[in-house]
Amino acid sequence: MNNKKRIKFITILGAFLILFFVYLLLVGAVVYLWPKKENKIIQKTVSIIPYPAVIHKAGFITLEKLDYQLLVARKFYESQDFSKVGLRVDFSTPDGQKRLAIKKKNILSKLIEDSIIKAEAKKRGILVTQELVDQEVDRKLKEYGTGNQLKDFLEKFYGWDIQDFKENIVKPDLYQEKLFSQLKKTDPTYLEAREKIEKAQKDLVEKVSFSETAKKYSQGESAKNGGALGWFSANQMLPEVSEVVFGLQKNQLSEIVESSIGFHIIQMEDMKEQNGEQIFKLNQIFVPIKSFAQWLSEMEGDYKIFIPSREFYWDSQAGKVQFSEQNMQKYEQDLLKNPINDPSIIF
């Protein structure tokens, strides 16, 4: 009798597991073949079962994470009154749904970048600890305001708490910063660029004219004009450069400034106020370095990225996520040329 009960239980359990497996396959077919089809039961299943949105050699990114990030982005845009600055956001229209799909594609690209950065960092022994994340958040709070202000902002525009902010913004940024720092230490082109800008600085110390030094060492269009850049406001400069410019006097030279794109030596030629804004006439010696985006593009080629959904595919040559449908590719291209005052496309 006991054996019969056990056999019956095993049979029922086996049937249940088969049905559950078939159900998971059917949900997978829907989310991958018809990704735009919305259903509460399917959405709930995806939030529990880790269906992959992206697969690569270091792991995978779940559909649940992609959907969550898209929900957060949508809340950010819909929580603000952009009409005050002549902009609008409306994701409820057919065009709005297409713009939301573009945002989804961009979020997926960012998730792929973050996962590869984290994998590459760990491969090189870089670990971002919770203590380091907490320290960075404390630094940002001192720099930008009180903790309550940040908490209110995160809750209102993202639906986040401080821990969400740490996991989704601070930690990925720290991994990128530390990986970039380590890559530069071993890259010969970076060391050559550093040596070149130091030679330019030495010539300037030895009273070689700025114009002559720029023509000898600088790269870019301004080098032909002896480093002359023209007039700029602070918001037209790289953050690292603008921070230095505000500390310069007329005709003064900066020290070597390292930015995300290279090394700079800035000369303050003149300054004035225009329409209530301070503007600066600058000269520059500039030596470029390999950008982090270039390093990342090279690394992505080793990861054999695969996107199961037929909504997108990974373009290995371009190194980015693309729409599978030609009409969406064209829609995105046209929209980028004319963003029609939509902040979800502009930024």
**pLDDT tens-digit profile of 203-250?**
999 999 999 999 999 998 888 889 999 999 988 899 899 999 999 999
- Binned at pLDDT 50, 70 and 90, residue 338 comes out as confident
C-alpha torsion 129→130→133→139, nearest 10: -120
Q: Which CATH number among 3.50.50.60, 3.40.50.12780, 3.10.50.40, 3.40.190.10 corresponds to the domain 188-289?
A: 3.10.50.40
pLDDT the model gives residue 265: 95
The two three-digit tokens of residue 22, written as one number:
């078939």
Name 238's Cβ contacts closer than 8 Å, sequence gap at least 6: 259, 260, 261
What are the pLDDT digits (tens) for 192-206? 999 999 999 999 999
What are the pLDDT digits (tens) for 1-60? 566 667 777 777 778 788 877 877 787 777 787 776 667 877 788 788 888 999 998 889
The two three-digit tokens of residue 110, written as one number:
């960012």
Q: What percent of the chain has pLDDT over 70?
A: 93
pTM value > 0.75: yes
Domain limits, the chain: 1-49, 63-187+327-347, 188-289
